[in-house]
Structure 1
Amino acid sequence: MIKKIFLITLLAMCYIPCNSQEEVTINSSPKLVVGIVVDQMRYDYLTRFYTQFGNGGFKRMINEGFNCKNNHFNYVPTYTGPGHASVFTGTTPQNHGVISNNWYDKFGKAMVYCASDSLVKAVGSDSEKERMSPRRMKTTTVADQNRLHTQLKGKTIGIAIKDRGAILPAGHSANGAYWFRGKDEGKWITSTYYRNELPDWVKKFNDSDQAESYLKVWNTLRDIDTYVESGSDQNQFEGKYMGKETATFPYDLAKLKDQNYGFDIIKASAFGNSLTADFAIAAIDGEQLGSDKITDFLTVSFSSTDYVGHKFGVNSKEIEDTYIRLDKDLERFFTALDAKVGKGEYTVFLTADHGAVHVPSYLKSVKIPAGYFDRDAFEAKIKTFVKDKFKVDDLIENISNHQIFFNYENLKKSGIIPQKLEQSIAHFILQEDQVDKVFTRSQLQNTEYSIGIAALIQKGYNQKRSGDVVVVMDPATISYSKTGSTHGSGLMYDTHAPLLFFGKGIQKGSTTQKTSIPDIAPTISALLGITFPNGATGDVLSFVLEE
């Protein structure tokens, strides 16, 4: 009897505490998730310009949040469209289908743009060139999944100077995506995919002439002599605005406007990022983002860093000043989030869509291997080779994005096996100077690569949309002007991108463990406790999240 009483007492002692425990919280949902992409941002811009930054922008994210120092794109090509799609879908072009900014549609027999859509019209502009939507992207984004999870109660707004930078991150079910129409308009616009009329807050912003206020003199924010992290202001490696004899500060944008496509000159200056921050802050109020407990999404892409990088190059004073000013724009954006959403009530991540190569002509001047590739001559040589070897015209249908597309109708008529044409072209191309590697459709479909450039190409290769032969150039070898920087390769200067998290649910710390761009969307999905994007292949970065 005593044993029985003792056993009952023990069970009671165990039972009471178990029931008195607090309910376990399985996810930490912020009021607002802000996904920031800085177009063409190399990781080393964080370290190179670190002493120039204040405490409220990049440094705030690093000091209060988590820094993934060894973050990379795990596919080729590293372009804007694929980059933005991959960040938010959690997968690569192999699955989401955005294989480039523009690519050859072998079924429609024409080049297509990643965000173009003939079924919609522009809203806020009469231009036929602004008919845009996310329809070419095949999979969902993390923002789409949040919309589904919240029964469409959580809002999603996408913002960028570039249409693709606004549209692809926001996903298919977004409440709105807004981009900047330059030329002679200087307005933020959208398309009928989202709505038939601009909302009042966008009209009000456009009517404020905020864009016109940036048609002013762009000079260095600080004494140019303190910009010791970049090369000389005057050199032979930088492009110029039309109408200005040298690529040197200062730049009178109002004076140069008419010779540089009107308001488009703002895009190619540091002020384009400031205008983007202005509009993003207006969107928080206009859309009441983060105003309740249902998580909203705001995607913001700072596009002007890319325009400036393309024109002036990685090592320019212009790129340094652009990042110093972007740091200040981030600071006032975070300050606005603190005031409007609440400090500790939102979560932010910041990354890039690709990096950039040093100007090859500069690299050559300091004896580092680099070069320029004559794409037109190369294409002519391939077509001549194929015609001479197979004695048939038009076996090659298109050459673009370092890919060769076959004309299968003519192959069939001529009785030529596609694999034979693949092998012949691959062997011929490998003999060419400046070509490093060649991969064929048969290789990419029948072999699983796990390391090296082959694995990156395979993850960027979409069976239905990609070509039949893929060509890889030598390091730092580009088809571009001899001034300014570009991108697109699978080399470290293009793949190594920043990845910073901070805010609600984020640990403080850093890692040199390798992470990849498709890890971002699953990590945010895990934070929110929602289903991952439907094509996601990335991993959850559990060390980033608070337990």
Structure 2
Amino acid sequence: MKRLYFLLIAVFTVLTGSAQNPVKRPKLVVGIVVDQMRWDYLYRYADRYGSGGFNRLLKDGYSCENTFISHLPSFTAVGHTTIFTGSVPAIHGITGNDWVDELTGRSVYCTEDSTVQSVGSTSKAGKMSPRNNLASTITDELKLATNFRSKVVGVSLKDRASILPAGHVADGAFWFDDESRQFITSTWYMKELPQWVNRFNSKKEPETLIAQPWTTLYPANTYTQSTADDVPWEGKFKGEKTTGFPHDLSEVFKQDPDVIRSSPYGNTLTLDFAKAAVDGYQLGTGAFTDFLTINCASTDYVGHKYGPNSMEVEDVYLRLDKDLETFFNYLDQKVGKGQYLVFLTADHGAAHAIGFMQAHKIPADFFESGKVGKALNEMLKNQFGVDKLVTSGTNYQIHFDNKLIEQRKLDYAGIKKATVSFLQKQEGVEFVADLDEIGSESIPEPIKTMIINGYNYKRSGPIQIVLNPAWFAGSAGGTGTTHGTWNPHDTHIPLLWYGWGIKPGQLTREVHMTDIAPTIAALLHIQRPNGCIGSVIPEIGQ
């Protein structure tokens, strides 16, 4: 009897000890991806940021100062998928915002899905899902680790930037539909919008925000990190005569609702919707860790239109900083300071505008891919007797009409060899690689590895073009900027950690975008995504 008594006490002690020592996790993880945010923006405007936004993360959080993208091309959908899978396009399959299916020759949009329907709109903007992502995400793994009791939600103006981070089993992913001027989703997630989304949409916040003209947040003469307000390499909104402030967007919005994307108000709208999502799903208030993914996309639209050195880009970051401060203060009250984990990064950076570079005598120019492609097809026709052998040059890759080559029994290896030889002679081209022979190509690291990481046999073209530094695809006289290359301006991104489990500090050794997901997995004590090739960043944890 005495033995039985002590045995029962021992069992009770083990059981209660286990109950008293559960795995420690934050109440909520918030992954913020600022679209097109170059790393140097953290410091370029630091003296103008307030104390509660970017500087809060820099001062009280941990900054990985040398975080790089390790794949090509450096585009939005690829970046978001890589962040949340810890993988690369060769494995997760998201090789661009769009790509050509090498087996069928069909052009594919990264999140298109003909098997689902729009929810919240009659437009086709909701026919989207994460189906094309071949790998699991860290958000998927959190759902699996908690037997689907964690809640996961994705928010963005862009469909791809909401869907791909939220993963395959999210409770919801929501994006802005220009036609209905409200946030929508697809039947992949639900049959109808939740009531909290309907309530948010009914307030018609886009109309309210865009009714005010976009003027500088501070006096224009204080924007000393920017060039003059009206320069030829910046873009204009419809009806504008100059590129300068103020921008009266209310009239443009009536005919062109997506104009809110190209203003700082798009970020305000996104973060307001994110707060509504936290409240609507009661994220961070349950027994299991929840995950909210947020993409602030207006920085990308503004950057594309104006370029990194514009007053508009400076202003959109100063305003985003204030919006982030408001959002973090909301999380402090709703979830509790120190109870949530935040990481902030970017999907890619951006090049300086070509006109800006040329004005300062720094080598840069446009690679006119349309003209080059036409000339390439003409050369191949003369040599092989068949027209239009090249079908696309998307993602700085050459795609061929494989069916036509097979039908005509043409020399495929010879076509590729002739293509490489032709492209190597074009102005602005630094390297051209036949991806079937990439191992023997004389291309320096890390560029060669970035090409290999980005190459998916079924979704990538067999010929890769690498341009001179500061060159990018476009037309002569074009305005604004873009991204997609291997160069640091496109691939050196911020990575800030803050809150639960994070010690203040700074890391100068090089880490990669693929390291984000395994680091989160380590912090949460869950499995890495199934295509993950990144490494844990151990220095960030307390």
TM-score under structure 2 normalisation?
0.93
Offset of residue 242 of structure 1: 0.5
Offset of residue 97 of structure 1: 0.5
Are 2:432 and 1:435 equivalent residues in the alignment? no
1:64-103 matched pairs, under 5 angstroms? 64-103=60-99
- String of CA shifts for 1:159-204, please: whole Å, max 9, x gaps: 0011111000000000000001124x22011011100100000000
Aligned to 1:419: 413
1:480-499 matched pairs, under 5 angstroms? 480=474, 482-499=478-495
Are 2:288 and 1:294 equivalent residues in the alignment? yes
Are 2:530 and 1:538 equivalent residues in the alignment? no
1:392-403 matched pairs, under 5 angstroms? 392-403=386-397
Aligned to 2:502: 506
One-letter identity of the residue aligned with 2:417: Q
1:251 partner SS = coil
1:62 partner SS = helix
One-letter identity of the residue aligned with 1:478: F
1:344-359 matched pairs, under 5 angstroms? 344-359=338-353
Are 2:217 and 1:221 equivalent residues in the alignment? yes
1:155-304 matched pairs, under 5 angstroms? 155-183=151-179, 185-215=180-210, 216-259=212-255, 261=256, 263-304=257-298
**8 Å contact 2:71–2:451 — kept in the other structure?**
yes
- Partners of 1:89 and 1:58 lie apart in 2 by 25
- Choose 420-429 or 389-398, whichever is displaced more: 389-398
**8 Å contact 1:28–1:504 — kept in the other structure?**
no
- Partners of 1:189 and 1:114 lie apart in 2 by 18
Are 2:472 and 1:473 equivalent residues in the alignment? no
1:5-20 matched pairs, under 5 angstroms? none
Are 2:360 and 1:366 equivalent residues in the alignment? yes
Offset of residue 473 of structure 1: 1.5
- String of CA shifts for 1:181-233, please: whole Å, max 9, x gaps: 124x2201101110010000000000112221102111111111111111111
Distance change (3 Å), C-alpha of 1:325 and 1:390: same
One-letter identity of the residue aligned with 1:400: T
Aligned to 1:10: none
Aligned to 1:452: 446
Are 2:375 and 1:386 equivalent residues in the alignment? no
Find the partner of 2:310 among 312, 316, 321: 316
- Partners of 2:446 and 2:495 lie apart in 1 by 22
Distance change (3 Å), C-alpha of 1:227 and 1:393: closer
- Partners of 2:442 and 2:139 lie apart in 1 by 31
Offset of residue 293 of structure 1: 3.0
Offset of residue 468 of structure 1: 1.2
- Partners of 1:234 and 1:522 lie apart in 2 by 45
Offset of residue 25 of structure 1: 7.1
Aligned to 1:463: 457
2:208 partner SS = helix
One-letter identity of the residue aligned with 1:196: K
Are 2:131 and 1:135 equivalent residues in the alignment? yes
One-letter identity of the residue aligned with 2:516: I
Aligned to 2:10: none
One-letter identity of the residue aligned with 1:305: T
Offset of residue 446 of structure 1: 7.5
One-letter identity of the residue aligned with 1:89: T
Find the partner of 2:48 among 44, 47, 52: 52
- Partners of 1:486 and 1:140 lie apart in 2 by 29
2:205 partner SS = coil
1:368 partner SS = coil
Find the partner of 2:518 among 499, 515, 522: 522
Offset of residue 53 of structure 1: 0.4
- String of CA shifts for 1:294-344, please: whole Å, max 9, x gaps: 010000000000000011111000010100010011111111111111111
Offset of residue 448 of structure 1: 12
**8 Å contact 2:101–2:458 — kept in the other structure?**
no
- Partners of 2:231 and 2:412 lie apart in 1 by 48
- Choose 503-512 or 24-33, whichever is displaced more: 24-33
One-letter identity of the residue aligned with 2:445: I
- Partners of 2:423 and 2:331 lie apart in 1 by 53
1:311 partner SS = helix
Percent pairwise identity: 43
- Choose 169-178 or 468-477, whichever is displaced more: 468-477
1:252 partner SS = coil
Find the partner of 1:113 among 109, 116, 120: 109
Distance change (3 Å), C-alpha of 1:504 and 1:429: same
1:428 partner SS = helix
- String of CA shifts for 1:404-460, please: whole Å, max 9, x gaps: 123333333444443332222111210111111001121237789892211111111
- Partners of 1:283 and 1:376 lie apart in 2 by 43
- Partners of 1:430 and 1:268 lie apart in 2 by 37
TM-score under structure 1 normalisation?
0.92
- Partners of 1:233 and 1:47 lie apart in 2 by 21
Aligned to 2:140: 144
| Aligned pairs, number | 523
1:217 partner SS = coil
Uncovered stretches (5+) of structure 2, i.e. residues with no partner = 1-13
Q: CA RMSD in A?
A: 1.9
